[in-house]
Amino acid sequence: MSIKKIHTDQPKEFCFNDENKILAKEILKKYPKENKKSAVMPYLYLAQKQNDNWIPLAAMKYIAKELSMPYIRVYEVATFYSMYNLAPVGKYFVQVCTTSPCMLRGANQIVDSCKKKISELENEISKNGNCSWVEVECLGACVNAPMMQINSDYYEDLNSESANKIIDSLLQDKPLKPGSYRGRLNSSPENNKTIYSGKND
């Protein structure tokens, strides 16, 4: 597991906005009052979403106070799980799956598109500040490989051409619609085959 870099330019304060304060209260209802610290992971998600895809130290301290738990415990969770970003990643965070199923179906082409259009290096924000990219392990969409996750959306059944179009749309701040780029519905079979007919077709 790689060590996460903590961003050096940190905001001094953080507080959930009005919308997230309401969501935070709803999240707490799912846990026993004596175990409200169990809400730390969804709270970190809220903070990350509110703060342009990354979690500042001030947000971890705020969450620790809200959940009556030691700050170091929040920090441990945030640094352990790969889905939490501790430095800016841009408005659109591109995660390219390069596990075996995706790699066998051309994930290297998606990586090449990211290097060409976003930045040569992983975790480096594009020149216009809109996005960054990183290689990740399985995102659970092997049937629709190759694929990439952009923020919370899945873009599947990709090739070099479709990946380039999607990345261009991010750089222009006009993201294309997520889903299959071969016209499939969810993980439905291609060519409209739904069951085995028993015939040689």
pLDDT, tens only, 144-161: 999 999 999 999 999 999
Q: Strands across the sheet with 131-136, in order?
A: 131-136, 92-97, 148-150, 153-156, 179-180
Whether pLDDT at 71 is above 60: yes
Quote the number of domains for the chain: 2
Determine the pLDDT at residue 1.
Answer: 39
Give the relative orientation of helices 160-171 and 107-117 as an angle to the nearest 10 degrees: 30
Percentage of residues of the chain with pLDDT beyond 70: 89
Bridge-partner residues for 96, per DSSP?
A: 135, 148
Domain boundary among 41, 56, 80: 80
Least confident of 18-22, 74-78, 104-108, 182-186: 182-186
Note the pLDDT tens digit of each residue in 79-110: 998 889 999 999 999 999 999 999 999 999 99
Q: Are residues 130 and 73 in the same domain?
A: no
Determine the pLDDT at residue 4.
Answer: 56
By residue count, the chain amounts to 201
Q: Are residues 104 and 129 in the same domain?
A: yes
* 29 occurs within a structural domain: yes
In sequence order, what E strands does the chain have?
92-97, 131-136, 148-150, 153-156, 179-180
Mean pLDDT over the full length of the chain: 90
Measured distance CA(52)–CA(49) in Å, rounded:
6
- Residue written as tokens 């066998």? 104
